[in-house]
Amino acid sequence: MSIGKHIGFDEEVHPPYLDTDYKSTLLRAPTKPLLIQKESLSQTTGPLFNDYSLGALDHDLTKNSVKEGEPVGERIVVHGRVTNEKGHPIPNTLIEIWQANSAGRYVHKVDQHNAPLDPNFLGTGRCLTDKMGNYKFYTIKPGAYPWGNHHNAWRPAHIHLSLFGTAISSRLITQMYFPNDPLFPFDPIFNAVPPKGRELLISDFDLNVTEPDFALGYRFDIVLRGHKATPFENQ
C-alpha cells in the first residue's frame, strides 16, 4: 500500500467529520485516522447514469407533483455549470434535488415542523447536465425551518443537491444557499465549512435567467473533484 500524499480532496474548503457545534456529528464522526490506499479500478469509476431516462417533468419541481393546482410560493429557476477544478465541463451528469417547501416544511414523514405541507409540491426532482456541463431546473424557493440543534436554531433556506461526477471519488452531496441570508452567521452546518469554502455554497441572483413575469433566476456553479489522471490498474 502506498501512503503517499493524498491528492484531490480539498481540505481547505470541505467541512470536517466532527464539528462540535453541529451536535449530530458527535456520535457519528469517525474518530480514527482514515486509511489512505492506492487507487484501484473500482474507485476511478462510478455509476454514470448518462443514459438514464428522466421523466419529462423531473426537472420542474413546480409541476412534477401537482395534484389540484400550483404549488404555493416564489417560483425560481436555478441554473449553473458542473465542472472539475480545471474548469472542464462534466457533461451528462445526474443532479438529484430535494428541498423543503416555501413554508419550510419537508414532505419527509419524520419532519414534525408545524408548518403546512403543500399538496402540490413534493420538493424533489432530477436533471442531467448538457454536453457543456450546464443544468437548469425550476422549483419553489424553500423556506427557512427550525431544528433541534440548539435553542432557536433555524436552517437558512437551502436546496439539497446530489451529484456523482465520473468516479466515486467525485461523489458530492451539498446544499445550495441563497444570497444575503441573515441566518448564515448562526447556522452550524453552513459554518462547519471552512471560511474559504462558504461563499462557494451561496448562489448568485441572476437577472439573465430570470424569466419575465414568471420566475427569479439563481446561478449555482458546482465544481466536482477530478480524480488523478493515472491509467487504470488493469490496463
Partner 1 sequence: MIMNTKDISKRQTPSQTIGPFFAYGLTPSQYGYDFPSLVNGQMADTKEVSEHIQIKGTIYDGEGVSIEDAMIELWQDDGEQQLFGRYGTGTEDGNSFTFTTVKPKGVNGAAPYINVILFMRGQLLHSYTRIYFSDETQLNTTDEVLTSIPDDRRKTLIAKKKGTSYVFDIHMQGDNETVFFKV
Burial of 135 (0-12, 13-18, 19+ CB in 10 A): buried
User: Is 145 designated active site?
Assistant: yes
The one catalytic residue in 106, 135, 138, 177 is: 106
Question: Per CB under 8 A, does 228 bind partner 1?
Answer: no
User: Is 158 designated active site?
Assistant: yes
Question: Per CB under 8 A, does 29 bind partner 1?
Answer: yes
Question: Per CB under 8 A, does 110 bind partner 1?
Answer: yes
Residue 231, helix vs strand vs coil: coil
Please report how close the Cβ of residue 137 comes to partner 1 at its closest, in angstroms: 13
Question: Per CB under 8 A, does 16 bind partner 1?
Answer: yes
Question: Per CB under 8 A, does 230 bind partner 1?
Answer: no
User: Is 160 designated active site?
Assistant: yes
User: Is 218 designated active site?
Assistant: no
Burial of 190 (0-12, 13-18, 19+ CB in 10 A): buried
Taking CB under 8 A as the criterion, the residue among 62, 83, 120, 203 binding partner 1 is: 83
Please report how close the Cβ of residue 220 comes to partner 1 at its closest, in angstroms: 9
Taking CB under 8 A as the criterion, the residue among 1, 56, 207, 229 binding partner 1 is: 1
Nearer to partner 1, 170 or 215 (CB): 170
Nearest by Cα to 173 from 164, 185, 182: 164
Taking CB under 8 A as the criterion, the residue among 70, 88, 116, 146 binding partner 1 is: 88
What is the H or E stretch that residue 198 is in?
A: helix 195-198
DSSP state letters, 108-170: STT---SS---TT---EEEEE--TTSEEEEEEEPPPPEEETTSTTEEEPPEEEEEE-TTSGGG
Residue 105, all three cell numbers: 416544511
In angstroms, the CA 3 to CA 77 distance is 45
Taking CB under 8 A as the criterion, the residue among 73, 197, 205, 216 binding partner 1 is: 197
Question: Per CB under 8 A, does 117 bind partner 1?
Answer: no
User: Is 150 designated active site?
Assistant: no
In angstroms, the CA 62 to CA 122 distance is 9
Active site residues: 106, 145, 155, 158, 160
